[in-house]
């Protein structure tokens, strides 16, 4: 998809409340200190159109959405994000740190909603061609602990209202993907306190020879 990719594409995944948002900021600071130019972004969202699609996706005020619609909206926002933001940044040599990406579609729409993973793979190829993250940090913790952390912040969104079984399937799918692609995935045990989690992150960053 991009023959001129010079930067690195790093994504962050996990069940809700796992600490992605908190720790991406920590990682961005470390990488900037090391002299890298960073683009910090998120999915669904990242562009004006993508953020508008995000509002539809997380809204509790709209009628129940068909699972196929949800999947296609995720990939619609992703196409916009890739072409307008991610690919241009990678071509400029920036390191793109993205809070969730296509692995979330496999975990939530695939394992969570029950959509055939092969259909998601077809969309992945259609929208991304051969572009895949270079590295993915999986913040792993038991789904009920993550949900409790997320809920302690206040109002829940449409996804956070799902049954715990849904999030257990999401977590299992993430762990399966991490197991099958050890070169790309780095698993962070996110059940510990923030300081311990950030020690793990620092050691992964050191290993990746940043």
Question: 3-state SS string over 137-186?
Answer: EEEECCHHHHHHHHHCCCCCCCHHHCCHHHHHHHHHHHHHHHHHCCCCEE
Q: Of 11-19, 61-69, 86-94, 117-125, which part binds ligand Z5A (CB under 6 A)?
A: 11-19
As given in the structure block, the two tokens for residue 132 are 């895949």
Identify any residues that bridge with 135 across adjacent strands, giving them in sequence order.
10
- Identify which of residues 142 and 160 has a Cβ nearer to ligand Z5A in the complex: 160
Is residue 104 close enough to count as binding ligand Z5A by CB under 6 A?
A: yes
- Identify which of residues 35 and 138 has a Cβ nearer to ligand Z5A in the complex: 138
Please pick, from the candidates 194, 199, 202, 206, the single residue that binds ligand Z5A as defined by CB under 6 A: 194
Residues 6+ apart with CB under 8 A from 147: 15, 16, 17, 160, 164, 167
> 19 to 58, contacts with ligand Z5A by CB under 6 A?
19-22, 43-44, 58
Size, binding site for ligand Z5A by CB under 6 A: 28
Provide the minimum distance between the beta carbon of 5 and ligand Z5A in the complex, in angstroms, as a whole number.
Answer: 21
What helix, strand, coil percent values describe the chain, rounded to 5?
A: 55, 15, 30
Is residue 105 close enough to count as binding ligand Z5A by CB under 6 A?
A: yes
Helix (H, G, I), strand (E, B) or coil at 188: strand
Contact 125, 36 (CB under 8 A): no
Provide the minimum distance between the beta carbon of 137 and ligand Z5A in the complex, in angstroms, as a whole number.
Answer: 11
CA atoms within 13 A on the CB side of 172: 9
Provide the minimum distance between the beta carbon of 148 and ligand Z5A in the complex, in angstroms, as a whole number.
Answer: 9
Task: Work out whether strand 185-189 and strand 95-99 pair parallel, antiparallel, or are unpaired.
Answer: unpaired
Is residue 18 close enough to count as binding ligand Z5A by CB under 6 A?
A: yes
Contact 98, 90 (CB under 8 A): no
Provide the minimum distance between the beta carbon of 28 and ligand Z5A in the complex, in angstroms, as a whole number.
Answer: 13
Q: Of 89-97, 99-107, 126-134, 199-207, which part binds ligand Z5A (CB under 6 A)?
A: 99-107
| Sites of contact with ligand Z5A (CB under 6 A) | 14, 16-22, 43-44, 58, 74, 99-100, 104-105, 108-109, 149-150, 153, 157, 159-160, 190, 193-194, 197
């Amino acid at each position: 998809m991009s023959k001129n990719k010079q930067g690195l594409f790093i994504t962050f995944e996990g069940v809700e409340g796992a600490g992605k948002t908190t720790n991406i900021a920590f990682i961005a600071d470390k990488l900037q200190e090391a002299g890298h130019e960073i683009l910090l972004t998120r999915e669904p969202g990242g562009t004006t159109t993508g953020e508008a699609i995000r509002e539809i996706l997380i809204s509790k005020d709209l009628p129940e959405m068909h699972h196929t619609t949800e999947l296609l909206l995720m990939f619609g926002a992703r196409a916009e994000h890739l072409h307008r933001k991610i690919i241009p940044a990678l071509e400029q040599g920036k390191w793109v740190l993205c809070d969730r990406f296509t692995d979330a579609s496999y975990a939530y729409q695939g394992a969570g909603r029950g959509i055939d993973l092969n259909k998601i793979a077809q969309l992945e190829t259609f929208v991304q061609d051969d572009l895949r993250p270079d590295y993915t940090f999986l913040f792993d913790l038991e789904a009920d602990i993550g949900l409790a952390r997320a809920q302690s912040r206040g109002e829940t969104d449409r996804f956070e209202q799902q049954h715990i079984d849904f999030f257990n399937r999401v977590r299992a799918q993430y762990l399966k993907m991490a197991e099958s692609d050890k070169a790309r995935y780095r698993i962070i045990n996110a059940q510990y306190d923030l300081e311990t989690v950030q020690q793990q992150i620092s050691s992964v960053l050191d290993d990746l020879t940043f």
